[in-house]
Structure formats: C-alpha cells, structure tokens
Amino acid sequence: MSQPVQNRRVAEAVALRGFFQEQWQQLQQLLIDWQQLRENRALESDRLSDAVESIVDGTDSRIRGIGSYKKQLRNSTRALIEHIEGVVQAIPPAMIVDHSAIVRNPLVRSLFRDRHYMQALFGKNTDIRAYFDSAEFADRKEVFALLFVLRSEKKVLGAEIHGDILLKEVQQTSVTFHGHQILGPGHEEGVVRSVVKRMLFNSVISHTRRKINRLRNSLTDEEKTIAALDASRNVNNPVVYLNLLVDELSAPKQLISVKDNLLRVNRMGIRLPMESGVSSDVLKLFEIEVSGSQSRVAALVRYPRNELSR
C-alpha cells in the first residue's frame, strides 16, 4: 500500500473517531438536558400543587370534597404565580440607605425625609435588630429588606416664583411619604424577593376570601331563601364557591397591578410639572397595588450594619 493512501485512511479513521466522539458527547448532553427538564417539571408540578393547597387552606377547605378541585384551580393558580414572579422581578435592584444616601440619592431623601428618621426606623425595627444580633449573620455587614411606603398628595397654598414675580397663596400639590414598613430582612436580595412573592400570594388569597365572604354576607333575606332552595346559586355550596374562586384568580393583573410613576418634586415636597425648569428632583417610584388595598411604593433596600451605631 502506498504511503499517501495509508496516510489518507489514517486521517479518515481519525476523523471518523472524532465524529463519533462528538456525536456521543452531544447525546450525553441531550440526556442530561432531558433529565434536568424532567426534574424541573416535577418541581414545578409540586410547587403548583402546594400553591393550590395553600389557596384552599386560605379560603374554604370544603372545596377538597370536590374531586376535580385541583384540576380546576391549576390554570388560574399558575397564571397568578407567573404574574407575581413578573411583578417581583420588575422591582428595581436594592438601593443603599445610609446617611450619605440621604444627600446623594433623591429617592432616599424623599422617602425618609432625614437621616435621623431613617436611623430610628431601622434601628428600632425588631426584625432588623434580630438579624444583626443573630449568630448566623454575625459576619454580615448589611441587611437586605423590602420597604413599603404609602404616598399621599394634598392641595396646599404656598409661594411660587413666576419669572421675577413672587406669587403668594398659589395652590400647589404636596407629596408626602408615610406608613413605612420594613419587611422580610435577609442576607441577600434573592431571599427578600422570595419573601415578597409569598407575601403577595398570601395577600391575594386573603383579599379573595374577604371578597367572597362579603358576597355571602351581603345577600338579602330573599336571596338567602332562593339560595337555600337552589344549590347552584348558593355561595355556601363548595361547587359555587370553587367557581367563584377560579373566576377571581383568573384575572391576576386585576388582583395585583403595578405602575412606574415619575414625579418631579422640590426640596419642600411640592409636586412640579415634569417640564419645570425649577431646581428639583425627579423620582421614579415603583408602586404595587393589591386589589382592595392602597397602592404602595415598593423598594428593595440595603442597610449597613455600621449605621446602627451612628
């Protein structure tokens, strides 16, 4: 056999082995991906089943007497979970809240007014104190948390400059932030976001239970008599209750709404037109509203441990 022919066959054999090796590696990766997909689907199924049971526990456990209750609740529960995940994912990254942020961050300055109020709010919070005092987080230099704040606006009379003229008794809009709540402190942002998801889920369930209960209690005597005679119109009938529950949960965007608000305010907290040329701050507010409750500004925050000793 000539040398060129032998070399060509050797090269072909090497290439063939390389081809089969590449195909084998791809097959192995496909098997790994397929196994991971199965595991993820199993986890998703378990999580969905747990969520369905949480809804039943939080509303009316008699629903379990209906053989198809899990199947009927799965789609609306999945839609609710996906919406909540989208809402929580959209919350801006955690911002540092410390004495210097009051000066350099307009949003922090507006939400807390001054560093003394901010320090008192965090320093007196039992959950924040418990976090920093725990042995588990003794080496952590900061804590992450969710801050919920109410925003109110009211008409006031104040002074305003138009050109070179000072006008008095001008109607203005005053913006205030109050009702501060610090929730779900944790060692990292992801932990806090998970807490927020659970909190929103539970809030929706509580709202839904109250809404259906109000429907029960608002029936007139005539309607109660009709309902007692016709099970298909009786809210106390678990089948009817389940149908109402499914309908309510099937519109998650109505249950939890979000909006990004842009406000221009001056140092006195007076709202100005966005096009105003007056020295002021532009605040970008991420607000969440659970149906039936007042809209709240939601912000993830990072509070340093050394702020406690200032």
Are the C-beta atoms of 131 and 287 separated by less than 8 Å? no
Q: What is the pLDDT of residue 125?
A: 93
177 has which bridge partners?
A: 151
Closest of 33, 44, 273, 269 to residue 152, by C-alpha: 269
Give the C-alpha separation, 43 to 259, whole Å.
Answer: 31
Going from N- to C-terminal start, the domains of the chain cover 3-58, 95-205+235-309
**Which tens digit of pLDDT belongs to each residue from 117-129?**
999 999 999 999 9
Q: What are the respective helix, strand and coil percentages of the chain, to the nearest 5?
A: 55, 25, 20
**Which tens digit of pLDDT belongs to each residue from 72-104?**
999 999 999 999 999 999 999 999 999 999 989
CA 259 vs CA 2, 118, 228: distances in Å: 78, 25, 43
Amino acid at 2: S
Amino acid at 189: E
Dihedrals phi, psi of 100, to nearest 5 degrees? -80, -30
Per-residue pLDDT of the chain (310 residues; tens, 9 = 90+): 555 556 556 555 555 566 556 655 665 666 555 565 454 455 566 788 899 999 999 999 999 999 899 999 999 999 999 999 999 999 999 999 999 999 899 999 999 988 889 999 999 999 999 999 999 999 999 999 999 999 998 887 766 666 666 566 667 788 999 999 999 999 999 999 999 999 999 999 999 998 888 887 777 767 677 767 666 778 888 898 999 999 999 999 999 999 888 999 888 888 888 888 777 889 999 999 988 688 999 999 999 999 887 6
Q: What is the pLDDT of residue 23?
A: 59
Give the C-alpha separation, 131 to 137, whole Å.
Answer: 7
Q: In the chain, how many H helices and how many E strands?
A: 10, 7
Give the C-alpha separation, 287 to 246, whole Å.
Answer: 26
Place of tokens 């608000």: 261
